[in-house]
Structure 1
Amino acid sequence: MSQVNEVLANDFEQEVEAYDGNVLVDFYAPWCGPCKMIAPIVNTISQERDDLKVVKVDADNAQELMVKFGIRGIPTLLLMKHGKVVDTKVGAASLSQIREFTSQV
């Protein structure tokens, strides 16, 4: 059982891109309603999947990452494997939809 940690833009390369495993990245903002809706779901996924590192990135404080990954809306989930984006999911989603999304890794 793991917990969701917040990653700052400065630490993204070390914490996510250099991580030798699977990572679910939740780009969110504190003011974003749909982001608040999926936050408990993202927490559930982190507790269910010991093989999946789950992190959150505050989009307001990570504009360079938003540009780098072409993120135009939040919430956006990136599914990464060995530092490379495998898939992207934009918008609020149910637990079953996010489970299916993360089942790719």
Structure 2
Amino acid sequence: MATVELTKDNFDEVVTGGGIVLVDFWAAWCGPCRMFAPVFERVSERHEDVVFGKVDTEAQPELAGAFQISSIPTLMVVRDKVVLYSQPGALPEQALEELVTKARELDMDEVRRQLAEQGSRA
């Protein structure tokens, strides 16, 4: 699947639609972002069942602010409306593949149970 441009107008719809969504927060002036872009694109082509979205932080400052993005690239993984991963830095291709595999293998019922336990302790 090709990457999808995410904007304030379509972000919620895409990310809360269910399944796995990888979001790359980037900007055109960012050297590491430009180096990571082809890696993100290649991995997206191998995983038709996963949405790979890109947020241009210059064009979408509201989204960058909402997620407190202070370094780019930042990669976020969302599955079934739960943020599983959010870290700055470009990943090598193999590490990105492993991240997709781990997100796919998670037992989301167990993840939600753990989140509920953490919330009740707070």
Deviations 1:54-80 (A, max 9, x none): 011101122222222221100011000
Structure 1 residue ranges (4+ consecutive) displaced by more than 4 angstroms after TM superposition: none
Name the SS for the 2:58 alignment partner: helix
Once superposed, what is the RMSD of the aligned Cα atoms?
1.2
Aligned twin of 1:35: 33
Show the 5 A alignment for 1:85-96. 85-96=83-94
TM-score w.r.t. the length of structure 2 is 0.78
Aligned twin of 1:80: 78
CA radius of gyration, larger in: 2
Counterparts of 1:15 and 1:53, CA distance in 2? 8
Aligned twin of 1:12: 11
- Segments of structure 1 that go 5 or more residues without pairing to the other structure are none
Counterparts of 2:87 and 2:45, CA distance in 1? 20
Counterparts of 2:63 and 2:102, CA distance in 1? 23
1:21 aligns with 2:22: no
Counterparts of 1:47 and 1:70, CA distance in 2? 28
Q: Name the % identity.
A: 34
Aligned twin of 1:67: 65
Greater percentage in helix: 2
Letter in 1 for 2:39: I
**Count of aligned positions:** 103
Name the SS for the 2:10 alignment partner: helix
Greater percentage in strand: 1
Counterparts of 1:104 and 1:71, CA distance in 2? 23
Greater RCO (Cα-Cα under 8 Å, separation 6 or more): 1
